[in-house]
Structure 1
Amino acid sequence: MTEGATQPVLRATLEDVARAAGVSLATVDRVVNRREGVRAKTVARVEAAVAKLGYRADLAAARLARGQTFRFAFVLPTGSNSFMTNLSEQVARTADWLAGHRGFIDIHHVDVFDPDVLARALENLSPAYQGVAVIALDHPRVRAAIDELVARGVAVVTLVSDAPSSSRVHYVGIDNPAAGRTAATLMGRFLAGREGTVAVIAGSLSLRDHTERQFGFHQILSSEYASLSALPVIEGRDDSDRTRDLTAALLARHADLRGIYCCGAGNRGIADALEASGRAREVVWITHELTEHTRRFLVRGTLDAVINQDAGHEARSAARVLLAHCSGEPISPDQERIRIDIFLRDNLP
């Protein structure tokens, strides 16, 4: 080693703790794993050695020693929704990380807009799964399927869209009412006192994230921007062709249409309809999720703002929460909080 080079920092082992405390390895193992049968003075000595050496348990190694593995199912939507495609890719990448922690992921694609199809998919999952992450519909049939899984000892995490009255152990996603309020504030400020109507396009009001976003949007628009009135919510099922037709009809019917807020997907359809109408630079358009398509629409000037959630963070968070729950380990709430990002053309990453 050259002069002035720093010594590598080695992780303390159970053997190091046993040597420092002057006890056997078996005694240290009992203390660290909170098992009974060790005298209080010995426990204190071991804990002092743990603190002095900065010992942290290697949980993956412990699972390996016990021959313990976990298998998780991620139930994601079918279709061409760009954000969901990105989320699926991020889950696949997370699977590589999770495998090093003795956890394994299978991805199942189903029609999450249909409560019967989604519920059947959950009901028919293999009993080999210890945990499930699902894009949830807040529907009685789906809630019942989640509750049945939990009753069987399966940890269930809702991902992106929640079913809060179910027995799920954690929700991984943004604060959707806050996201909707943020979109309304941006809309009101972009329109700067202009009078007219604003359209709200959801994928499905059966998806709680879409419902909560439009609720937050209406909450702010109606209370703080009296010159603007929101039209009834329409549902495009996150399908670009369907959403294009709906948007074209809105533009034809409402000469005073000043803004469009899309709280779901189908953005390629909205862009096509706006460009075809010749009103793309006149109508303020705000949507969700930064994808290759919404990025292009922002740069082009067709789209004004994107409310984003980090798909990679959500995939990793869902895996961490499931692993922690099945291992009996604590989670860090701050680490698992999914933040709301706002992207304009000027701050694209």
Structure 2
Amino acid sequence: MVDSSEDRRRAQLIDVAAAAGVSLATVDRVLHGRAGVRSRTAEQVHAAVRQLGYSADPAASRLARGRPHSVAVVLPSGSNSFIAMLVEQIAQSEPWLHELRLNAAVDRVDVFSPQVLAEHLAGLRGKRDAVIVVGLDHPRVRAAIDDLCADGTTVITLVSDVPGSQRAHYVGIDNVAAGRTAGTLLGRFVGRDAARRKVGIVLGSHGLRDHAERLFGFQQVLAAEHAQLKALQPLEGHDDSTRTEPLVAELLRSEPELAAIYSIGAGNRGIHAALAASGRALDIVWICHELTPHARTALLDGVADAVIHQDAGHEVRSAFRLALARLNKERLLPDQERIRIGVYLKENLP
């Protein structure tokens, strides 16, 4: 038997009121947790909701809202090309955000300083409905996030997580898996019989959770599957090409047995320049992250061997969807929000 269109019609508040034998105003008070309704009446309303399978229409809820939700997106300052890609994706999403009744403002902050980042987050208390932040995993930052959450602000961490905090969601790749992927690729590219055995590592900061997790996964694979390779002490470049270039130049000068470099964060323009200036670019295996225009050029030039990538557009849209769902108490599709790890060689560039 085919259901009629009436049977398929989405249950509305008036249907809940009729089933519970109460007024629309009473249903509204119960569903929004307002006082002034007897417990027996409230239970009648909840029973009707369950019986009818009622859920609020998200589009109608957005239209009924008196004002748009305000969202701050806190991103690292500096010249990080991947962060520039995130900013570009936010700008391109403005028409979509307008339809969702979200107002987004981008704040560029020195996320490598826990004091600066924590103070900036503290300054957002009571000013934003949601905060999306590339976080530093530090006690001061965790406390600032917890204070925002205690005030009713929805906090989403983006790219780099602060898992000990009360943040609602993390949006980004599995960074341990990304580091393991890099380790597997690098080990296979260098080979087991290579004359040179040392591996240089460049990261932004040990305090960034995504960098620490990538390093952990990378070292796991090298220790378990490529024991012939020796990972050197990681160099901190703060995702800044002007800092990474002299660090890598000195690494190349001081380590004649250097076989490979793993770049965990940004600053790849500096690494590219140092490799090119050394005359050893084609002899050193180089694995890096994020398919920025500079990484693309390095792949095409044969200087970089592989790029581990995450989709900036998917991450931005997912972060806004998660924030909106939390604010409006809407349902989510978990598979839609899963950020996948991409691997690019020069042969499969999009």
Output the CA distance in 2 between the equivalents of 1:111 and 1:41. 51
TM-superposition CA deviations, 1:138-165 (whole Å, max 9, x none) = 0111111001101111111111011100
Q: 2-side partners of 1:41 and 1:82: how far apart?
A: 53
Structure 1 equivalent of residue 216 of structure 2: 215
Deviation at residue 104 of structure 1 after TM alignment: 1.3
In structure 2, do the counterparts of structure 1 residues 148 and 37 end up closer, same or farther at CA, with 3 Å as the change threshold? closer
Query: Does the 8 A contact of 1:158 with 1:168 survive in 2?
Result: yes
Report if aligned partners of 1:76, 1:134 keep a CA contact under 8 Å in 2: yes
Counterpart of 2:276 in 1: which secondary structure?
A: helix
- Asked if residue 110 in structure 1 is aligned to residue 109 in structure 2, the reply is yes
1:284 corresponds in structure 2 to: 285
1:346 is matched with 347
**Superposed displacement of residue 169, structure 1:** 0.9
Name 2:180's counterpart in structure 1. 181
Does the Cα contact within 8 Å between 1:60 and 1:100 map onto a contact in 2? Answer: no
CA contact (8 A) 1:161 1:209 kept: yes
Calculate percent identity across the aligned residue pairs: 52
Match of residue 5 from structure 2: none
Q: Deviations over 1:97-121 (max 9, x none)?
A: 1221122111111111111110110
For residue 205 of structure 2, what is the aligned residue in structure 1?
204
The structural deviation recorded for 1:128 is 2.8
How many Å apart are 1:327 and its aligned residue? 0.7
Aligned to 2:330: 329
Q: Which runs of at least 4 in structure 1 moved beyond 4 Å after TM superposition?
A: 11-15, 21-24, 33-47
Number of residues of Structure 1 aligned to a counterpart in Structure 2 = 329
AA at the equivalent of 1:153? G
Separation in structure 1 between the aligned mates of residue 295 and residue 276 of structure 2, nearest angstrom: 14
After superposition, give the CA deviation of every residue in 1:267-290 in whole Å (9 maximum; x if it has no partner): 011111111111111100000000
Contact 1:60 1:102 in 2 (8 A): no
Mapped partners of 1:41, 1:331: distance in 2:
24
Correspondence 1:161 to 2:160: yes
Give the RMSD, CA atoms, in angstroms: 2.8
Provide the C-alpha distance between the structure 1 equivalents of 2:171 and 2:341, rounded to a whole number of angstroms.
13
Quote the residue 1:172 is aligned against: 171
1:95 and 1:39 mapped to 2: Cα distance? 39
Gaps of 5+ in 1: 1-10, 51-55
Q: CA deviation at 1:334?
A: 1.2
Structure 2 vs 1, CA of residues 38 and 235 (structure 1 numbering), >3 Å: closer, same or farther?
same
SS of the aligned residue for 1:334 comes to helix
In the alignment, which residue of structure 1 is the partner of 2:245?
A: 244
**Is there any run of 5+ residues in structure 2 with no aligned partner, and where?**
1-7, 33-41
| CA contact 1:240–1:268 (8 Å) conserved in 2 | yes
Query: CA–CA distance in 1 between the matches of 2:329 and 2:335?
Result: 19
The worse-fitting range, judged by mean Cα deviation, of 227-236 and 37-46 is 37-46
| Normalised TM-score (structure 1) | 0.86
Alpha-carbon distance change, 304 to 44 in structure 1, aligned in 2, over 3 angstroms: closer
Distance 1:95 1:42 in 2: 39
Tell me the equivalent position of 2:93. 94
The alignment partner of 1:281 has SS state of helix
